[in-house]
């Protein structure tokens, strides 16, 4: 490694970087070249003004989000595996909005506003899924085909003003991306491909639609939805919050913003942080990475003349290859080991890496702005032969319960618990603070600012001025 950052440039805001090699340089030093999207760098400096705490604690602000952000933004509602056959349906709720997503007899996916065209009754309960040949309202029995056509209207003689066309089920825009079904409650929404922007291009490299859901956890969180998301947008907290863990000290991270809706970090594993006061040997790094694998006090031996990162990547590829029946030997070290995290505004995260293969989704509680819901999915490569397992039952974890209740999360449960403790403390501090806004790092916390700015953009576009 040769080039290093010029950390002394503090005169131009947003330009300074941590001393030592950049993540980009580290990736180029790997023996296997990573896919091109991982070599793209797109830092954006978005200013350095404090972000007001009222964005989290003002009821007016939260109400404006429900009016101008959630009904206008593309969100993934379910996985395509949730509705594989004609008649399978799935209900996605966000705030007081509800979408009924289903597969028609032609195999097409449609999404309807989940409300009867007669007197508004929800056709299917919140958070439900199942199978239906047709959609019959539980109140008076009006019935629609899966295509949304009104096919039965009891006592039709009393409704000469109701036509099959005028009372079709109301559809909303729906699309597929990365194996998930996305909806938008705005019938004039831009196409999904435009919304996900650069993701469309980057994800052609990652085979995300060839994965199935192995574990699905839903956790109730003690904070505003934006604070929950922000806890995962930066790795700046890792050294302090997760200091005792495996993620504790490898902190070279690259932050990118791809306007308008996407941001990313890449966080390396198995390389020594330049910020450590004294560098470790490759054997020490290897011992640290494999400490969960060894029996007793016996450390695993790293062969001579090979980097811990490269050797460990091969180990992971072999283990995962055996477990999931694939050949991962061509994967780059970065795609095998690193924490690669894409965020798509307003609430979705996708991790294309092999050993950290998560998807997140966050939703606000419609009745309490200090509560949010976190869907945490672990995805795995589909078997080459035979069908992938169906999506598992959701493991519900309440606000005071530990993620370690979900066995499928392994050691990550404890790490997520550490994040939750921060969220609760931060939420208390939003109200206790004398200073009325948060101060953000120009680079490492740029994605936090980007999220805040996107919310602000949509609020203002909808005619709500948070400053008035």
Q: If we measure between CA atoms, which residue out of 71, 100, 27, 11 comes closest to residue 309? A: 27
d(CA 334, CA 355): 10
| Inter-residue long-range contacts of 149-157, CB under 8 Å, 24+ positions, other chains counted | 150/117
Lay out the site mask for ligand FES across 368-407 (x = CB under 6 A, - = otherwise): ----------------------------------------
Give the binding-site size for ligand FES (rule: CB under 6 A): 9
289 binds, among Fe ion, ligand FES, none (CB under 5 to 8 A by kind): none
Minimum CB separation of residue 161 from ligand FES in Å reads: 15
Start-to-end CA span in the chain (Å): 52
Nearer to ligand FES, 22 or 114 (CB): 114
Task: Answer yes or no whether residue 29 interacts with Fe ion by CB under 5 A.
Answer: no
- Least distance in angstroms from the C-beta of 136 to ligand FES: 8
Q: How deeply is 151 buried, as exposed, middle or buried, from its count of CB atoms within 10 A (0-12, 13-18, 19+)?
A: middle
100 binds ligand FES (CB under 6 A): no
Q: Distance between CA 41 and CA 258 in Å, rounded?
A: 10
Stretch that binds ligand FES, among 138-146, 262-270, 277-285, 332-340 (CB under 6 A): 138-146
Task: From the list Fe ion, ligand FES, none, pick the one residue 140 interacts with, judged by a Cβ distance below 5 to 8 Å according to partner type.
Answer: ligand FES
Binding mask 140-159 for ligand FES (x = CB under 6 A): xxx-----------------
* Dist. CA 340–CA 201, nearest whole Å: 16
Q: By the 8 A CB rule, do 300 and 286 touch?
A: yes
Among 23, 83, 137, 257, binds ligand FES (CB under 6 A): 137
- Total Cβ atoms within 10 A of residue 213: 21
- Pick one of 48, 125, 126, 139: the residue that binds ligand FES (CB under 6 A): 139
Alpha carbon distance 71, 187 (integer Å): 10
Task: Kindly give, in sequence order, each residue whose CB lies less than 8 Å from that of residue 160, ignoring residues fewer than 6 positions away.
Answer: none
The one of Fe ion, ligand FES, none whose footprint includes residue 97, by CB under 5 to 8 A per kind, is none
Indicate which single residue of 419, 424, 453, 460 sits in contact with Fe ion (rule: CB under 5 A).
Answer: 419
* Residues at the interface with Fe ion (CB under 5 A): 419
* Residues at the interface with ligand FES (CB under 6 A): 116, 118-119, 121, 137, 139-142
């Amino acid at each position: 490694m040769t080039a290093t950052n010029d950390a002394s440039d503090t005169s131009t805001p947003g330009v300074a970087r941590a001393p030592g090699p950049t993540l980009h340089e580290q990736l180029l030093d790997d023996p296997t070249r990573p896919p091109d999207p991982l070599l793209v760098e797109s830092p954006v400096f978005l200013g350095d003004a404090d972000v007001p705490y009222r964005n989290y604690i003002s009821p007016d602000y939260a109400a404006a989000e429900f009016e101008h952000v959630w009904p206008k933004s593309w969100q993934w509602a379910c996985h395509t595996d949730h509705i594989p056959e004609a008649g399978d349906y799935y209900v996605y709720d966000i705030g007081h909005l509800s979408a009924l997503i289903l597969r028609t007899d032609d195999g097409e996916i449609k999404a309807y506003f989940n409300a009867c065209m007669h007197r508004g009754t929800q056709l299917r309960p919140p958070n439900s899924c199942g199978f239906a040949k047709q959609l019959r309202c539980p109140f008076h029995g009006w019935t629609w085909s899966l295509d949304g056509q009104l096919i039965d209207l009891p006592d039709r003689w009393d409704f000469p003003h109701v036509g099959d066309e005028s009372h079709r089920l109301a559809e909303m825009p729906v699309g597929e991306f990365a194996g998930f079904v996305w909806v938008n409650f705005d019938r004039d929404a831009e196409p999904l491909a435009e919304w996900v922007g650069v993701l469309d291009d980057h994800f052609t490299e990652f085979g995300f639609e060839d994965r199935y859901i192995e574990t699905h956890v839903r956790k109730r969180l003690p904070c505003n939805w934006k604070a929950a998301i922000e806890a995962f947008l930066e790795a700046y907290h890792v050294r302090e919050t997760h200091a005792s863990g495996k993620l504790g000290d490898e902190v070279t991270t690259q932050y990118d913003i791809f306007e308008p809706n996407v941001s990313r970090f890449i966080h390396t594993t198995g390389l020594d942080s330049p910020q450590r006061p004294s560098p470790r040997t490759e054997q020490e790094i290897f011992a640290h990475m494999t400490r969960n694998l060894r029996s007793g006090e016996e450390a695993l031996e790293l062969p001579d003349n090979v980097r811990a990162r490269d050797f460990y990547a091969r180990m992971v590829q072999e283990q995962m290859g055996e477990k999931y029946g694939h050949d991962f030997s061509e994967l780059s070290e970065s795609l095998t080991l690193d924490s690669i995290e894409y965020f798509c505004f307003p609430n979705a995260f996708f991790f294309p890496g092999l050993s950290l293969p998560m998807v997140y989704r966050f939703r606000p509680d419609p009745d309490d702005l200090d509560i949010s819901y976190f869907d945490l999915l672990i995805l795995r490569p589909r078997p080459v032969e035979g069908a992938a397992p169906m999506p598992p039952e959701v493991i519900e974890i309440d606000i005071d319960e530990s993620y370690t209740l979900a066995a499928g999360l392994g050691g990550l449960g404890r790490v997520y618990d550490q994040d939750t403790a921060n969220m609760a403390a931060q939420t208390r501090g939003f109200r206790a603070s004398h200073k009325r806004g948060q101060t953000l790092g120009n680079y490492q916390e740029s994605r936090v600012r980007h999220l805040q700015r996107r919310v602000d953009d949509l609020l203002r576009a909808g005619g709500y001025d948070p400053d008035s």
